[in-house]
Structure 1
Amino acid sequence: MNQTFTIKQKTKQIFVLLIPILITQLGMFSMVFFNTIMSGKYNSSDLAGVAIGSSIWSPIFTGISSILLAVSPIAAQRFGEKKSHEVTSIVKHGVYLSVFITILLIILGFFVLDPILDSMNLTARVQDTAFDYLVGLSFGILPLFIFNVLRSFIYALGKTRVIMIIMIISLPLNFLLNYVLIFGNWGFPELGGAGAGYATAITDWAFMAMTIFIVKKQEPFSSYPIFENMKEFSWEKCKEILKIGVPMGLSTFFETSMFAVVTILLSKFNVTTIAAYQSALNIVSFLYMIPISISMVQTVLVGFEVGAKRYKDAKQYSWLGVYLAILIAILTGLLVVAFRYQVAGFYSNETAVINLTANFLIFALFFQIADAIQATAQAALRGYKDVNIAFIMTLIAYWLICLPVGYLLANFTSLGARGYWIGLTVGLLAAGVALSLRLIYIQKRKFVGAAIKEVV
């Protein structure tokens, strides 16, 4: 990353960092896609088992990953302050936390996984596949978390292409492992849907191995001796990461689980409605990779400028990210609406499902815009390390506005399932407005106080 002086230079720097991150996010999305599609080709029960397993793992993974991604804004600020030793220490303690969290998660899973699956009233085949899939995934938890810490470090230095290259190399490996482990090809055991879990775990180890090699051998990363003197340990450093990361993780967890709850609430509707909702949500989730990628860039750039005490630049990066996300959301949303029937046709051959999916996608246009605002405003706040108030705002928006409004509109008006889309949009818009106001307040306080403080 370099210091910039004009809006044009800042916009260019955003895109230089953004494109590799976006490709990386799409690659991660593709891995889940491979798991689902290839399990479905094997057996419909295995597809259901993998889907159930993914729905359990996804909120946990995104929540914990967000805790560890706190390394990014902290390291970016230290980098801006030119405190190399502090950057090294933060990343090293992020690795320690990965180990601790992995141990706790595996112990917790040992006791609660069976009761959770038993409570879902699944068929024996689906339940067994979900269990085996999650067991397979568990072998990759540690390398995945360490990879996310190192990814945050690499992003904090502005070298986003490195992770993109690792992802591009790993995708064919993941596809190949799915092919041999799900179907039992080339002499490998035929594991069905569970094979997708083991394939993902092996890929996670490959992610970590390549990333560690680059961090140790390639400049500028090798100048930060992260894996030397691993006996150096401080609870204070861990607490610094957790202080920022826990609110980030909880906010992400509650957002992800909110969609899971909506899916459950929709189960009262007919199969056509459920299929159409899932199809539309999949399309929206794919497009969400754009604002989430912009938000990662924002957190790094804002943190870097705040660390260097260039508050005007931090403010400009904050709002450039918000405006860019809104603009792209409008453009992609209009394209989806214009070709909604064709897009819906990728997910189903049934006319009723296609028509209803196309109808949902009209609501999804406004949903995307609201989501883009809240994601990027929140990311800018993370760059300032302001996370606690933001977490409360999002919690209220997701659980006290999104769900109640959606439930009331879906069950007490003629809107039906469309009501949930409106509820989600209203709640996300409320979060976006509240977070934007908080961002304005923080930026004014930074200018007036001329000091960096952590908000408690």
Structure 2
Amino acid sequence: MNQTFTLKEKTKQIIVLLLPILITQLGMFSMVVFNTIMSGRYNSSDLAGVAIGTSIWSPVFNGISGIFLAVSPIAAQRFGQKKKEEVSFVVKNGIYLSVLITMIVVILGYFLLNPILNFMKLSPKVQDTAFDYLVGLSFGLLPLFIFNVLRSFIYALGKTRVIMIIMLLSLPINLVLNYVLIFGKFGFPELGGAGAGYATAITDWVFLAMTVYVIKKHEPFSSYSVFPNLKEFSWEYCQEILKIGVPMGLSVFFETTVFAIVTILLSKFNVTTIAAYQSALNVVSFIYMIPISISTALTVLVGFEVGAKRYKDAKQYSWLGVAIAVLIAIGTGLIVVAFRYQVAGLYSTEEAVINLTANFLIFALFFQISDAIQATAQAALRGYKDVNIAFIMTLVAYWLICLPTGYLLANFTNLGARGYWIGLTIGLLAAGIALSMRLIHIQKQKFNETVTGTIN
């Protein structure tokens, strides 16, 4: 990651960071797909159990991962300030936090998992599979959380291709492990859907082993001495990570749970509507990886420039990232709308489901644009380490605008399930506008600080 001087150079640097992150995101998405497809090939009960387990785990994982993502803007700012030793301290204490949070999650899971599953009133077979799948996943919590800390460190240095290579090397391992543990091949036990959880956990250990090896043996990572003096615990650094990471994690958690709640609310509609919504949401979730990848790169780049006190460059990166995300959202959205019936046909052979999915995908175009604005504006704010106000803004948008608006439109107008798409779009657009205004405010503050410092 280097200092840039023109918009062309900045655009190139965003793309250089973005593409490996996007491929990594697609790789992680593929692991979920492997779990789902192979469990479905085993039998429908195991597929349902894995789906239930994933729906419970995803909000928790996304929320906790948000905490560890705080390592990126903090380390990027220290990197921009050329405070190499402090970068190492941030990473080391991020590892300590990952161990602590793993213990908390395991303890809470021990006491809460069965009550949650019992409350859902599942069939015994589905409930057993969901429980065993989540137990399998739990063996990978520690390496997964440490990996997220180390990944954030690597991203902070702008070396995003490293994680991409690790992901691409690990995917075949995950695929083979799913096959042998779900179906009981080559002498391994036949675990059904639960095997997908254990396969994922083993893959998490592979992720961690490869990442540790790279950091210890290869420059520029080895020069930071992250592991030799791992005993250097500092509550001050942990507090800094939590101060930024907790609002980030909660923001991601509440965004994820909004979609889970909409799915639950849609259960009152017929099977065709539910299937069409899930199909359209899957398409949108897949495309959403692009703005998410831009956001990850943007947080690092803005943090790097803010750390170096190049506030003009940080501002240019911020709005360049927003613009790129919106343009891509418009482009991909128009392609999906143009081929909506063909896309819908990938998910179902029933004409009613295809037609309704195609209809939902029209609304998804505007949803994607709104989501691109809010995701990248929020990412830029994270680069400035401004997260508390952003969290409140997103909380209001998700829970006081998205859900109530969607519920009212879906249940008190003729829109039906389409009302939820409109509600989600309006809420995300409100978040995008509010976060953009906050970003403008922060940038003006930094500009005034520069002017005041120059005068003094």
Q: 2:128 aligned with 1:133, yes or no?
A: no
Take 1:273 and 1:121, find their aligned partners in 2: how far apart are those partners? 22
**Is 2:40 aligned against 1:32?**
no
- Matched residues in 2 for 1:182 and 1:17: separation? 36
Deviations 1:378-412 (A, max 9, x none): 00000000000000000000000000000000000
- Specify the alignment match of 1:285 in structure 2: 285
d(CA) in 1 for partners of 2:434, 2:402: 14
Matches of 2:68 and 2:13 in 1, distance apart? 25
1:397 counterpart residue number: 397
Q: 1:65 to 1:275 in 2, by over 3 A?
A: same
* Pair 1:353-2:380 in alignment: no
* Structure 1 segments (4+ residues) deviating >6 Å: none
The answer to whether 1:191 aligns with 2:160 is no
Q: For 1:349-371, what per-residue CA distance to the aligned partner results, in whole angstroms no more than 9, with x for missing partners?
A: 11111111000000000000000
Q: Using a 3 Å threshold, how does the CA distance of structure 1 residues 216 and 276 change in structure 2: closer, same or farther?
A: same
Counterpart AA for 2:15: F
Partner of 1:315: 315
The answer for the alignment partner of 2:368 in structure 1 is: 368
CA offsets 1:277-327 (integer angstroms, 9 cap, x no match): 000000000000000000000000000000000000000000000000000
| Distance in 1 between residues matched to 2:267 and 2:450, nearest whole Å | 52
In 1, the alpha carbon distance for the partners of 2:168 and 2:425 equals 34
AA matched with 2:269: F
1:73 deviation in Å? 0.1
Equivalent residue, structure 1, for 2:170: 170
In the other structure, the counterpart of 1:115 is 115
Tell me which residue corresponds to 1:427: 427
Match of 2:42?
Answer: 42
Identity %: 81
Q: Which residue of 1 aligns with 2:303?
A: 303
**What is the rounded CA distance, in whole Å, between the counterparts of 1:401 and 1:151 in structure 2?**
34
Indicate the SS of the match to 1:3: coil
Q: Which whole-Å deviations, capped at 9, do the CAs of 1:124-167 have from their partners, x for residues lacking one?
A: 00000000000000000000000000000000000000000000
The residue identity in structure 2 corresponding to 1:226 is V
Letter in 2 for 1:275: A
Q: What is residue 22 of structure 2 aligned with on the other side?
A: 22
Distance in structure 2 (CA, Å) of the matches to 1:396 and 1:147:
32
Q: Distance in 2 between matches of 1:219 and 1:232?
A: 22
Query: What letter is aligned with 1:439?
Result: L
Give the partner amino acid of 2:275: A
Match of 1:341 in 2: 341
TM-score using structure 1 length: 0.99
Give 1:232's aligned amino acid.
Answer: E
Equivalent AA in structure 2 for residue 243 of structure 1: K
- What is the distance in 1 between the residues matched to 2:358 and 2:430? 25
Query: How far, CA to CA, are the matches of 1:451 and 1:345 in structure 2?
Result: 58
Counterpart amino acid of 1:231? K
1:239 aligned partner: 239
- Shift, 1:451, TM fit: 9.5
Q: C-alpha offsets along residues 58-85 of structure 1, whole Å, 9 cap, x if unaligned?
A: 0000000010110000000000000000
Residue type of the alignment partner of 2:161: R
Equivalences for residues 80-99 of structure 1 within 5 A:
80-99=80-99
Deviation at 1:449, TM superposition (A): 1.6
Q: Give the distance between the partners of 1:421 and 1:412, measured in 2 at CA.
A: 15
Task: Using the TM superposition, give the Cα deviation of residue 450 of structure 1 relative to its aligned residue in structure 2, in angstroms.
Answer: 2.7
Q: What secondary structure is seen at the aligned counterpart in 2 of 1:421?
A: helix
Q: Give the whole-Å Cα distance in 1 for the aligned partners of 2:170 and 2:296.
A: 21
Extract unaligned runs of 5+ from structure 2.
none
SS at match of 1:247: helix
Deviation sequence 1:89-116 (CA, Å, 0-9, x none) = 0000000000000000000000000000
CA distance in 1, matches of 2:229, 2:19: 35
Residues 190-215 of structure 1 show CA distances to partners (whole Å, capped at 9, x for unaligned) of 10000000000000000000000000
- The CA distance in 2 between the partners of 1:319 and 1:140, in whole Å, is 38
User: The residue matched to 2:186 in structure 1 has which SS?
Assistant: helix
Aligned residues: 452
C-alpha distance in 2, partners of 1:191/1:165?
Answer: 30
CA distance in 2, matches of 1:34, 1:107: 28
Q: Find the aligned partners of 1:64 and 1:431 in 2 and give their Cα distance.
A: 22
- Counterpart of 1:407 in structure 2 is 407
| Equivalent residue, structure 1, for 2:226 | 226
Which residue in the other structure is 1:179 paired with? 179
> Equivalents in 1 of 2:391, 2:254: separation in Å?
10
Residue 70 (str. 1) matches residue 70 (str. 2): yes
TM-score using structure 2 length: 0.99
**In the superposition, relative to structure 1, how do residues 216 and 451 fare at CA in structure 2: closer, same or farther (>3 Å)?**
farther
What CA distance in whole angstroms lies between the structure 2 residues aligned with 1:218 and 1:444?
40
